[in-house]
Amino acid sequence: ADVLINYTKGSLKTLLKEAGVYGSIDVVYDPVGGDFSEPAIRALAFGGRFIVIGFAAGGDTPKNAIANVPLNLALLNERKIVGCLWGAWKMRNPEKNRENTEKMLMLVQQEKLKPVVSKTYNFDNYRDAFEDMMTRKVVGKVIIQPEGAGTSKL
C-alpha cells in the first residue's frame, strides 16, 4: 500500500481526498463492509477493483453489515466488484491452497513478507485478545501464545 488511512479519524471520503488518492485507487480489499463499502468504491480509479472479503463491520442485524451499493458505481467507471470466498475456494482447490500457503510462509521466513503483529497474549488472556480485536484496539495480527510454545512471526 502506498497510503494507509485510519477510517476512525473522520469521513473515509475526506481522508482519502486529503491523502490525494481519491479517484485513483486501483484495488480495495474490503473485509469490513457496512458503511465503508460505498465510499471506498466511489474512490476507485477507472477500472478499479473492489474485492469483498467479509463483513466485519457487523451491524444491528447481519443484514445491516452487508452494504447496498448502487450498481451505477460499477458501470460508470468500469469498476469491478469481486467476491472472494476463500473458505469455499480452499475446499475446492486444496492443492493450490497448500501451494499458496507454502509460498506465503516462505516469504515470511525470508522476511520478504512481514505481517504486522499488534500484540501477543498469553493463552490465559485469550478473552482480552478477542475484546481488543472486537473493539479495534489492535491493528494487524494478534497472537495467542500457548503456554510453553516458542515465538512466532505470524
- Taking only the tens place, the pLDDT of each residue in 84-102 is 888 889 999 999 999 999 9
Question: Residue 60: what pLDDT?
Answer: 67
Question: Residue 153: what pLDDT?
Answer: 56
Among the listed residues 117, 113, 120, the one whose alpha carbon sits nearest the alpha carbon of residue 141: 117
Question: Residue 121: what pLDDT?
Answer: 94
Question: Residue 108: what pLDDT?
Answer: 92
Cα separation, 55 vs 136, in Å, equals 14
Question: Residue 69: what pLDDT?
Answer: 87
Question: Residue 135: what pLDDT?
Answer: 83
Cα separation, 127 vs 112, in Å, equals 32
Question: Residue 56: what pLDDT?
Answer: 65
Neighbouring residues of 64: CB distance < 8 A, sequence distance ≥ 6: 34, 58
Among the listed residues 1, 57, 52, the one whose alpha carbon sits nearest the alpha carbon of residue 29: 52
Question: Residue 40: what pLDDT?
Answer: 92
Cα separation, 79 vs 72, in Å, equals 9
* Residue stretches of the chain with pLDDT short of 70: 56-65, 148-154
Classify 81 as helix, strand or coil: strand
Cα separation, 21 vs 138, in Å, equals 25
